[in-house]
Amino acid sequence: MEKWPLGVFAGIDAGMGVKLEVARELGVPTIQLHAPQRATRTKENAELFLARLRELDIRITVVFAGFEGESYADIPTVARTVGLVPPASRSARLEEVKEISDFARLLGVDAVGLHIGCVPHDEADPLFSGTVAVTRLLCDHCRSNGQNLHLETGQEPADVLLRFLGEVGRDNLFVNFDPANMILYGCGEPIEALRKIGRYVRSVHCKDAKWAARPGEEWGTEVPLGEGDVGMENYLRTLDELGYTGPLTIEREIPREPSRQKEEIGRGIRLLNELKAKIEGVEVRVQIFSAPRGRGG
């Protein structure tokens, strides 16, 4: 597979992300798909959708789950409503992600992603052990479908996420790294976090943001790619050092008119292509000028 194929976060019904046609116009070879609503997740629809993707020459790399009742209004509301952490909705949501995993299998996709929610920083918190238990069940279901589970980053610092991954202890549990979320939620400098979590990273979002005045208490601000505090060149160089060769999926979450969104994502694609060429160029020079090594040396 090509190194770092570009992608966008896309949806097929009322879900989040750009429409497939926009992905096609942007010329990207991959998408991450926001799972469609339950009524849409049929075998028949999966086949129709796959035929459409073949026509467009687009491949799905991850199917992302989201849930009714989630709200990103402010950080405390996220903690109360998002993912598998809130206990009241946990078992129903587990069943729903299992269904989404089954739908992803119909689409031939081997990775399911989600925001697990705000994992408590204190391991003694019952929400921590409850979330560990439900994540194990979900990993095991994904395994039965030949899939990995990718947790989106940013709602907790890297060290908390590492402890959580270790506690779950499933070898099909990985990370979808989103550098902007680290800034938006005030959960740590993104490149430092990427280095800590690097061995788990199997998919990434290319998204940018500016720090809040009071990080962690109020949202940072999502901005177009290259205009925020992530540092896209440093981000890609770090992914390169970590040996990450998978898709670079642009995510632009702020709802806005489609033409503006397409124009902004188009600029993001140009930026990533320029950086890819620059970084690959550096690699070529290193190869040319590095001293030849004898066999067995």
222 scored as a contact of Mg ion (CB under 5 A): no
CA angle 22, 27, 31 (to 5 degrees): 70
Least gap, CB of 292 to Mg ion (angstroms): 43
**How many residues does this entry show for the chain?**
297
Nearest Cα residue to 190 out of 246, 234, 134: 234
Contact 230, 208 (CB under 8 A): yes
Give the contact letters, 232-261, x = binds to Mg ion (CB under 5 A), - = no: -------------------x----------
Closest CB to Mg ion among residues 4, 64: 64
What gap in Å lies between CA 76 and CA 56, rounded to an integer? 41
Least gap, CB of 245 to Mg ion (angstroms): 20
What gap in Å lies between CA 62 and CA 97, rounded to an integer? 13
Least gap, CB of 207 to Mg ion (angstroms): 6
Alpha-helix residue ranges (DSSP H) falling in the chain? 20-26, 43-56, 75-81, 87-106, 126-144, 158-168, 179-184, 190-197, 232-241, 258-289
Closest CB to Mg ion among residues 102, 152: 152
Least gap, CB of 220 to Mg ion (angstroms): 13
CA distances, 34 to each of 86, 170, 271 (Å): 21, 24, 24
Part of the chain binding Mg ion (CB under 5 A), chosen from 17-25, 199-207, 212-220, 263-271 = 199-207
What gap in Å lies between CA 184 and CA 197, rounded to an integer? 18
Beta bridge partners of 34: 11, 64
Least gap, CB of 177 to Mg ion (angstroms): 9
208 scored as a contact of Mg ion (CB under 5 A): no
Least gap, CB of 93 to Mg ion (angstroms): 18
Closest CB to Mg ion among residues 34, 205: 205
* Size of residue set near Mg ion by CB under 5 A: 3
Nearest residue relative to Mg ion (C-beta): 178
205 scored as a contact of Mg ion (CB under 5 A): yes
Least gap, CB of 114 to Mg ion (angstroms): 11
Give the contact letters, 165-184, x = binds to Mg ion (CB under 5 A), - = no: -------------x------
What gap in Å lies between CA 59 and CA 115, rounded to an integer? 22
CA distances, 182 to each of 36, 152, 193, 204 (Å): 27, 10, 8, 13
Binding site for Mg ion (CB under 5 A): 178, 205, 251
